[in-house]
Amino acid sequence: MDITRFHGVVPAMATPFKSNYELDLDRVAQLIEGYIAAGVHGISVAGSQGEFFALSAKEHLQLLEKAIDATNGRVPVYAGTGAVTTRQAIELTKAAESMGADLALVITPYFAQPSQEELLEHYTSVAKATRLPVMLYNNPPRTKVNVLPKTLVRCMQGAENIVGIKDSAGDLTQSIEFQLLAPRASLLFSGRDTIALAMMRHGAQGTISPAANVFPELMVAMYEACRSGDHETALRISNIFAPLRAAWALGSFPVVIKEAMALAGRNAGPTRPPIMPLTEQARAEVDAVVRRIAMLASKEGAGEPAQAG
């Protein structure tokens, strides 16, 4: 299985909703056009930042179908197909395959908090039900479930189409172990913007990035600098992003990125309740962060934010 086309900057795309909280499929296509124009290397759909947990089964499939259609093969689509149960994850993964997704991104089951043995059975069952490459998605801050490096090894041994992991744990030591212990060539993607560069310096192929929703050109510039060996520039850009991740504390996940998108001219609408909009004070603080990053991005030659629309 050729995994070399999976690399670079992949926005963890926020799912756009209308003011009445209905799914905004037209806006999905508009956002994807903007990201591709910014030079991203893939699109991740229906992940955590994409509020997959707030979607009905019908909406989840509609979102995947629209994103795959809008992308039209220009870059790979990483389809979020994780669920609480193995049966649900298999159904979503099969649907994503039939629609033409390029990779299944499967978050660990949440709420149930399975053991490492249960994770092994879960992931190998999902992988054996599809021909798609399957990437584990490890996000213990959200799911309270952590995939251990030895469990990834066993998963890859159990199914040839398990190709690696997106790691949002924020533990660089563990991320490095995922790469070092893998039994064959594998994928490692960052899900934590603050250590994306560090992970890439240690061999990760790229980042599935929340911040790339807001400043895709700047994230692409960091990736390109890292890849070309311009580590000074890459580090400078990585530090520019740091305040945006810190701003997550100003609201409940995942509202801050959505509010930042609106402020930067990439409006994806509101988050679905129970998550509420930011307070006026918090929005002002996020606005200051967005404006400063935009100014510094301009100095890096990474473009201006998109115009609101």
- Compute the distance between CA of residue 255 and CA of residue 252 in angstroms, rounded to an integer: 6
Catalytic annotation, pick one of 66, 137, 223, 258: 137
Is 137 designated active site? Answer: yes
- Compute the distance between CA of residue 291 and CA of residue 308 in angstroms, rounded to an integer: 14
Q: Is 208 annotated as a binding residue?
A: yes
> DSSP alpha helices (H): ranges in 115-171?
116-128, 140-143, 149-158
- Compute the distance between CA of residue 276 and CA of residue 260 in angstroms, rounded to an integer: 14
Judge residue 248's burial from the number of C-beta atoms within 10 Å of its C-beta, 0-12 exposed, 13-18 middle, 19 or more buried: middle
Do residues 75 and 42 lie in contact, with contact meaning Cβ atoms separated by under 8 Å? yes
In the chain, at which residue ranges do the beta strands (DSSP E only) sit?
Answer: 8-11, 43-45, 77-80, 103-107, 134-138, 162-167, 187-190, 206-209
Is 144 designated active site? Answer: no
Angle 280-299/255-263 helices, nearest 10 degrees?
A: 60
- Compute the distance between CA of residue 289 and CA of residue 295 in angstroms, rounded to an integer: 10
Q: Which of 83, 75, 49, 78 is nearest to 64 (CA)?
A: 78
Catalytic annotation, pick one of 35, 166, 223, 258: 166
Largest CA distance in the chain: 51
Binding annotation for pyruvate: 208
Catalytic residues: 137, 166
Binding annotation: 208
